[in-house]
């Protein structure tokens, strides 16, 4: 019996050690989610500056891969042109490579996972579980107001496009937030407040990750 118990302890220990290990280092990952116009980008820049995280945007990585002219980039570009969804594994591989190449061990992953399939694939492929999800919560009316203020051109077209983005966000991203909320891993921020006030709330959440003076 003792041997069995000790074997189980060893297996458990190995699982603990393996978890969140990437490229020989233990990484801290925070998913940053929120609808269009919630100010995620602004707050991510603040977190990078004050708390020493590296900001990774799935969209930026895909665009950079396309620009590189690699075989992978050409495949991604063709899929987007054909209106196909880029497979989760492709985006995850880019995120994984970016984290391994970077000397940092603290990462903000912005705008990913976009849906439950993304989420499951990320955890299965990388064996990384996020420390928490930073969720910027904002009413649809306020997001719409901000996005329209940023845009120029025909208002009706803009409103129609914006509302389509809201619909996709609600249908795809909210189930991801609900999944992590059930695991008590969601830190919700009221993103309708002015930027400096929002950052005060963000700072309170990230205080344990403050850079050493």
d(CA 152, CA 68): 31
Residue 38 marked ligand-binding:
yes
Buried b (16+ CB within 10 A) or exposed e, 24-59: eeebbbbbbbbbbbbbbeebbebbeeebebebbbbe
Residue 8 marked ligand-binding:
no
Residue 87 marked ligand-binding:
no
Residue 150 marked ligand-binding:
yes
Residue 106 marked ligand-binding:
no
Residue 69 marked ligand-binding:
no
Residue 198 marked ligand-binding:
no
Residue 17 marked ligand-binding:
no
Residue 146 marked ligand-binding:
no
Residue 114 marked ligand-binding:
yes
Residue 113 marked ligand-binding:
yes
Residue 10 marked ligand-binding:
no
Residue 29 marked ligand-binding:
no
Annotated binding-site residues for a ribonucleoside 5'-phosphate read 63, 84-86, 111-114, 154, 165
Annotated binding-site residues for CMP read 118
Annotated binding-site residues read 37-42, 63, 84-86, 111-114, 118, 150, 154, 165, 193
Annotated binding-site residues for ATP read 37-42, 150, 193
């Amino acid at each position: 019996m003792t041997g069995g118990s000790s074997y189980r302890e060893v297996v458990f220990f190995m699982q603990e050690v393996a978890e969140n290990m990437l490229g020989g280092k233990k990484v801290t990952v925070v998913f940053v989610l929120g609808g269009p116009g919630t100010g995620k980008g602004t707050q991510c820049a603040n977190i990078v500056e004050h708390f020493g995280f590296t900001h990774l945007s799935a969209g930026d990585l895909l665009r950079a891969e396309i620009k590189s002219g690699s075989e992978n980039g050409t495949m991604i570009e063709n899929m987007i042109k054909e209106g196909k969804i880029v497979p989760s594994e492709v985006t995850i591989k880019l995120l994984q490579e970016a984290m391994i190449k970077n000397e940092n061990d603290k990462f903000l992953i912005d705008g990913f996972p976009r849906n439950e399939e993304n989420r499951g694939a990320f955890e299965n492929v990388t064996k990384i579980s996020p420390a928490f999800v930073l969720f910027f919560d904002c009413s649809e009316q306020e997001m719409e107001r901000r996005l329209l203020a940023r845009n120029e051109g025909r208002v009706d077209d803009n409103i129609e496009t914006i509302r389509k983005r809201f619909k996709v966000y609600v249908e795809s991203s909210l189930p991801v937030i609900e999944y992590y909320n059930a695991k008590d891993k969601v830190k919700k921020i009221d993103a309708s407040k002015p930027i400096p006030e929002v950052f005060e709330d963000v700072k309170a959440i990230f205080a344990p990750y403050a850079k050493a003076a």
